[in-house]
Amino acid sequence: MDERTRSERLDERQAERATEGERSGWARRDFLCAGAMAALGAVAAQVNEAEAREKEAWGRSLGARGGRQDGAQDGSDPWNLADFAYEEWTIADVQAAFASGAATSESITGAYLERIEAIDRQGPRLGSLLEVNPDALPLAREADQARRAALLRSPLHGVPVLLKGNIDTADRMATSAGSLALAQGAARRDAFLVSRLREAGAVILGKTNLSEWANFRSTRSTSGWSGVGGQCRNPYALDRSPCGSSSGSGAAISGNLGMVAVGTETDGSIVCPAGTNGIVGIKPTLGLISRSGIIPISHSQDTAGPMARTVRDAALLLGAMAGVDPRDPATGDAGPHQQADYARYLDPAGLRGARIGVPRARLDRLPSGDRPGLAARDRLDAIRRRGDHRPL
């Protein structure tokens, strides 16, 4: 495919996204940017004017794509974030691009590496990654070669995946849990879930920052801070917590620094950063995903889990990681219940008959034209339409 055809494909996909955004009213990013900008306004008086301008520009630039630029009348985009071709793409999007020849695993992996350099290492300095995989591009080329030979392994074939920094990889990356004590620590073999991802054809893109030792280093530890990676920042409000301990996985996927990521959780370490950074996180039942090769805290609570921008992508990643591992007896008990494809259980009518609580008192106090309030009401209307019921 020549460059013109590829450009046309990208333009077509962007137009489709704009149309989808108009139909749904608010995209994921629009909804969150509205809330982030409100938060920035609330703290603006407490920071110096130059810093406030930088944060506001960052919030606007994140929302600059998808047909909505309400908060960016001056077109400010100091780090050229609107030029990222694969923003908000899903696994289905990249597989369609692979199949049509509009993109390759190498081109998408390279684009993510460039974006990581631009906004994780420089610019706003999100600090969501501990390191990138020096072998990411060769792995992507191998995935492309397998595709050309019709040796596709799974829906994750050629998809760039990020791993939390407490998960073993037998490669040139360290498994440090963010601690300087293990900054040069090399694993002798892959964690079982990593071997499953490699078998699925995924490209291991890098290791994400975390609350050091998965938030088990102190009773006064800080969410998203580690000795190796420094402070991870929330992409929607740089002075707000990204939550933890899977802070980097949450911030990186929210900031479009990878397609999907793996987090780990003992008590809230997946679901909290997922919610805080506006993505999807799943803490699976203990034993569904092997714990071997993950720096532990609690044998009765620890588990890895998927983090993604959509429920479908999280389900696809979950299925790729699940499996029986002789090194983790808990997976034997879960074995009969494991599925290869959890995405097939996604049901558009799944909310029908559900009872959902809504904090009306707080919502109703917002001004009628308030952007976060409008976004919240719009989403509630969508839930009502899907579920054919009245939220409480």
pLDDT of residue 218: 84
CA distance 200 to 176: 25
The enclosing H or E element of 306 equals strand 303-308
Q: At what angle do helices 28-43 and 49-62 cross, to 10 degrees?
A: 170
CA distance 38 to 117: 28
From the candidates 245, 247, 249, 290, give the one annotated as an active-site residue. Answer: 245
Residue the block writes with tokens 């805290």 = 297
Residue 176 catalytic? Answer: no
Residue 245 catalytic? Answer: yes
Backbone φ, ψ for residue 131 (5° rounding): -165, 155
pLDDT along the chain (392 residues), means of 10: 48 49 55 53 42 46 36 52 86 97 97 97 96 98 98 97 98 98 95 98 98 90 95 94 97 98 97 97 96 96 98 98 96 90 91 85 84 86 75 46
From the candidates 105, 247, 249, 269, give the one annotated as an active-site residue. Answer: 269
Residues forming beta bridges with residue 265, ordered by sequence position: 303
From the candidates 164, 176, 247, 249, give the one annotated as an active-site residue. Answer: 164
Give the Å distances, CA to CA, from 164 to 105, 202, 204, 213, 315: 21, 15, 11, 11, 18
Q: What is the length of the chain?
A: 392
Residue 298 catalytic? Answer: no
Burial letters 194-207, b for 16+ CB under 10 A, else e: bbbbbebbbbbbbb
The pair of structure tokens assigned to 92 is: 């289905």
pLDDT of residue 193: 98
